[in-house]
Chain A
Amino acid sequence: MDGFTACLAKPYRLAAPPRCLKLLSDPQKTKNNKNALMIQFDNVNKRYESGQDALGRVSLEIDRAEMVFLTGHSGAGKSTLLKLLTAIERPTRGSIIVGGQNLNRLRNSQIPYYRRNLGIVFQNHQLLFDRSVFDNVALPLSVSGCSRREVGRRARAALDKVGLLHKEKQNPIVLSGGEQQRVGIARAVVNKPALLVADEPTGNLDPKLSEEIMGLFRQFNAVGTTVLIASHDLELIARMRQRVLTLQQGQLIYDGYPSREPAY
């Protein structure tokens, strides 16, 4: 059995990356002894042109396969941190290494390829209403140049994972808020990213739906995806019992595992 048929014969597992994608987690690339690290911020400072310091000297490390919550009031620097991580912004000072890739050295032309290793979930899910649910989920794969067959297989598997395979032909506009967010998540995980970044994924959802969404993230984390979720839903975070990073005025003021209430 050659490699390709073997790949087709294998049951769908999130841990298996698509053949059409290069992954951050290639151990050959991370020659230094920080193989276990997924994200490393070293004295990262971000100053916007207005002169405002959005992040000041933030250092943090997140291991592979960790699930971490990022909290803080609005304006504390959560969005800035996510923007740095997704290469939307570049740090003013300090270095950011994601999956062994130093983002400071990333050329503009390399950014698309870097982003193919990320899954990004947005608060307002950013779905395109001019195409079906399936096409929305398939977007990252078509962008990476996967073959049609591969795209169909992967996108359906991702939709199945979030329980929306039966709605693949519908327009996302007819779906409920929770379903739309699940489509957004399916799109984020369809390319088997090593790192899943979510910005207020439950921002507009009621507690029950939020719980469901968090359950999904937990499942992806369980198969080895590093998950970083920015949220200010402290109740929910407390229930999840995961590592929490708290930002305040651009400083990292808490990094740990809270029992009941995060310290702020």
Chain B
Amino acid sequence: MTDTQAVNQRTKPAANPPERSRAAGAVTARTGVGDRFSSWTNHHREMWRESWARFFASPMSSGMTALVIAIALALPAALQLGLTNFQKAVAGWDGQPQISVFLHKRARENAVQSFADDLRGDPLVAGVTYISPEQALAEFQQSSGLGDALLGMDSNPLPAVLLVRPRGSDTASLETLATRLRDSAMTDSVVLDMAWVQRLAQLTELGQRMSMGLALLLALGVLLVVVNSIRLHIESRRDEILVVKLVGATDAFVRRPFLYTGLVYGLVGGLIAWLLVSGGVWLLAGPISGLANLYGSGFRLDGPGFTYLIGLAGGAALLGLTGAWLAVARHISAIQPR
């Protein structure tokens, strides 16, 4: 018998305990679907809490990232809000063309009245508003601030005006109506307010498109900011990822904290963006309502309401999640134990 065999015989039985109950245990080693689901939701809840804790653990760096996201989102949001308010301000004039008929200074009041009545009977006309020279003067004094200058004049320089609302808005019928009005003996001049209404509509459309383009561009910026921050997070937790993978973590498990971190960045960024826009509106509200008063309008600036809050926070959270997903897809599979 060789030396080795001797050792074998001597030590083997000691190191080899009787058949153990492992096999019996293994058979029952099953986890129910319910258990799995509850541990899955637990992990989600944990990661949600942990990503907030991590966010506030380094308030400077995470705060700056969130602020970059906030500024990038506040710009298009503010532009959009401005456009909405602008549209509201001009809502009284939109679409419907209006023909201003300036009458001769010497036209008599009752002749003008009967002319207006004639026009009201015209099938092409929807309505006529008569503004007498006195009314026009009063309105002008109130809204222009040039009242004093007018007081110095001997007589009222303003003519009577008929505001004609045409029934149709097609160019041909408008032109016909304008020609007929121009031909009247009492008419001094006719102004068809079509061109600037159309220009306004075009400008609004242009603004919409620009804000949309800006929003897309800045959303891309936000995405890149998030991708980069998450990439740094992944790098700084490289050791942890390696260990966790070695003890049997699935990729989904490894991904989860980073996805939540991206979500939190976006969410905080969106909330700050909403605060920035609200602050801006608060700053501008005073001067704008003063301006509106001067123009004799009751216009009030609309703040970014609840819809904006939901939209900004939700959109930003989605961007954060997408950015995190992009970063994670690229970088986590690259970290494998060696």
**CA distance in complex: A112, B332 (Å):** 14
Task: Kindly identify which residue among B16, B39, B247 contacts A146, using a CB–CB cutoff of 8 Å.
Answer: B39
Asked if A18 lies at the interface with its beta carbon under 8 angstroms from chain B, I say yes
Task: Kindly identify which residue among A26, A115, A148, A221 contacts B248, using a CB–CB cutoff of 8 Å.
Answer: A115
**Majority secondary structure of chain B interface residues (helix, strand, loop or mixed):** helix
Stretch at the interface among A53-61, A165-173, A245-253, A254-262: A254-262
- The answer to whether B338 and A88 have CB atoms under 8 Å apart is yes
Asked if A12 lies at the interface with its beta carbon under 8 angstroms from chain B, I say no
Q: Distance (Å) between the CB of A130 and the closest chain B CB?
A: 7
Stretch at the interface among B30-38, B110-118, B162-170, B174-182: B30-38
**CA distance in complex: A254, B306 (Å):** 76
Shortest Cβ distance from A64 into B: residue? B22
- The answer to whether B20 and A65 have CB atoms under 8 Å apart is yes
- The answer to whether B243 and A139 have CB atoms under 8 Å apart is yes
- The answer to whether B27 and A26 have CB atoms under 8 Å apart is yes
By size class, the interface of chain A is 35 or more
- The answer to whether B23 and A25 have CB atoms under 8 Å apart is yes
Asked if A222 lies at the interface with its beta carbon under 8 angstroms from chain B, I say yes
A-contacting residues, B75-99, CB 8 Å:
none
- The answer to whether B247 and A187 have CB atoms under 8 Å apart is yes
Asked if A198 lies at the interface with its beta carbon under 8 angstroms from chain B, I say no
**CA distance in complex: A143, B250 (Å):** 8
Interface residue total, chain B, C-beta cutoff 8 A: 46
Knowing A140-B248, A145-B36, A259-B3 touch, does A19 contact B29 (C-beta < 8 A)? yes
**CA distance in complex: A251, B28 (Å):** 40
Residues of A within 8 A of B29 (CB): 17-19, 21-23, 26
- The answer to whether B31 and A145 have CB atoms under 8 Å apart is yes
Stretch at the interface among B7-15, B139-147, B276-284: B7-15
Task: Kindly identify which residue among B7, B17, B27 contacts A223, using a CB–CB cutoff of 8 Å.
Answer: B17
**CA distance in complex: A145, B242 (Å):** 18
Asked if B336 lies at the interface with its beta carbon under 8 angstroms from chain A, I say yes
A-contacting residues, B1-57, CB 8 Å:
3-8, 10-12, 15-17, 20-23, 25-31, 35-36, 38-40, 42-43
Residues of chain A touching chain B, judged by Cβ–Cβ distance below 8 Å, are 3, 13, 15-23, 25-28, 65-67, 86, 88, 109, 112-116, 118, 120, 126, 128, 130, 139-140, 142-148, 187, 191-192, 194, 218, 221-224, 241-242, 256-259
Residues of A within 8 A of B244 (CB): 139, 143
Shortest Cβ distance from B39 into A: residue? A145
**CA distance in complex: A15, B28 (Å):** 13
Q: Give 22 pairs: A residue, B residue, CB < 8 Å, sorted on A.
A: A15-B20, A17-B29, A19-B29, A19-B30, A21-B31, A22-B30, A25-B23, A65-B16, A65-B17, A112-B251, A112-B253, A120-B246, A120-B247, A126-B239, A145-B31, A187-B247, A218-B15, A242-B11, A242-B15, A257-B7, A257-B8, A257-B11
- The answer to whether A128 and B239 have CB atoms under 8 Å apart is yes
Q: Distance (Å) between the CB of B34 and the closest chain A CB?
A: 10
Task: Kindly identify which residue among B3, B20, B28, B35 contacts A3, using a CB–CB cutoff of 8 Å.
Answer: B28
Residues of A within 8 A of B251 (CB): 109, 112
